[in-house]
């Protein structure tokens, strides 16, 4: 091999070395991108799992399987004037209080001609309707409950209200 060929061969080897180094750099870049993509996927997956656990969609503990059925007779206080019937009853009480449980039992025996709906004051949706004093009003902004109440609604207006235990018991006893 002569000197010219040797120089040519060295240039070729340098060129090959640069190509190999470039390939390794590209592989390192691909590896970095892969690690970043994997990190993003793990983060999204973890966020999805945590959101479902906190929302109650997934349970971490084993327990009895509990199906949630939506009761059409349950209302949110803010929508109690939006029923299709012209005249109906709405029983408002805190379903989590033991002392109020008898209202539900009393109402379960109701067999009158008007449909009976329920509003649960313990529901977070109805917290805006709890007050220190019961105020019966057709204006939802003024309507407040401090305890159980039975309302007769006709034409989207409250026509009668029973706010004491005696009045509510007397109403259901007559029907």
- CATH number of residue 148's parent domain: 3.40.30.10
- The arithmetic mean of pLDDT across residues 34-57, rounded, is 88
Q: Are residues 156 and 95 in the same domain?
A: yes
Evaluated on CA atoms 123, 137, 152, 147, the torsion sign reads positive
Domain limit, last residue, from 65, 93, 112: 65
Q: Which residue has the higher pLDDT, 45 or 25?
A: 45
Nearest to 163 by CA among 130, 136, 123: 136
Domain limit, last residue, from 38, 65, 92: 65
* 143 vs 137: CA distance, rounded Å: 5
Residue 66 has pLDDT above 60, yes or no: no
* 80 vs 99: CA distance, rounded Å: 24
Q: Are 16 and 22 in contact (CB under 8 A)?
A: no
Q: Are residues 20 and 46 in the same domain?
A: yes
Neighbours of 171 (CB within 10 A): 19
* 128 vs 154: CA distance, rounded Å: 23
* 64 vs 93: CA distance, rounded Å: 28
- pLDDT band at residue 60 under the 50/70/90 scheme: low
pTM of the model as a whole: 0.58
- The arithmetic mean of pLDDT across residues 149-154, rounded, is 92
Q: Are residues 83 and 127 in the same domain?
A: yes
Q: Is 155 left (phi over 0), alpha (psi -120 to 50) or beta?
A: left
Q: Are residues 59 and 86 in the same domain?
A: no
pLDDT single digits (tens) 84-141: 889 999 999 888 887 777 888 888 888 888 899 999 888 888 888 999 999 998 888 8
pLDDT single digits (tens) 3-43: 888 888 888 888 888 887 776 666 677 778 888 999 999 99
Q: Are residues 80 and 160 in the same domain?
A: yes
Residue 72 has pLDDT above 80, yes or no: no
Radius of gyration from C-alpha coordinates of the chain: 35
Q: Are residues 59 and 79 in the same domain?
A: no
Domain span at residue 87 reads: 74-174
Question: DSSP 3-state assignment of 85?
Answer: coil
* Model pLDDT, residue 153: 93
* Model pLDDT, residue 41: 95
Domain limit, last residue, from 33, 65, 97: 65
Q: Are residues 59 and 80 in the same domain?
A: no
């Amino acid at each position: 091999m002569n000197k010219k060929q040797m120089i040519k061969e060295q240039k070729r080897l340098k060129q090959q070395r640069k190509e190999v180094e470039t390939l390794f750099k590209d592989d390192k870049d691909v590896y970095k991108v892969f690690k970043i993509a994997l990190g993003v996927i793990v983060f999204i997956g973890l966020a999805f799992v945590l959101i479902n656990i906190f929302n109650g969609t997934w349970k971490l503990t084993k327990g009895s399987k509990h199906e949630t059925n939506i009761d059409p007779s349950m209302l949110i206080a803010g929508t109690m004037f939006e029923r299709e019937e012209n005249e109906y009853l709405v029983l408002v009480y805190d379903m989590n209080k033991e002392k109020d449980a008898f209202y539900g039992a009393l109402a379960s025996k109701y067999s009158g001609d008007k449909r009976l709906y329920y509003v649960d004051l313990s529901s977070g949706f109805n917290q805006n309707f709890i007050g220190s004093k019961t105020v019966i009003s057709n204006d939802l902004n003024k309507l407040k409950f401090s305890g159980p109440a039975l309302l007769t609604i006709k034409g989207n207006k409250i026509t009668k209200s029973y706010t004491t235990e005696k009045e509510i018991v007397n109403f259901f006893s007559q029907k």
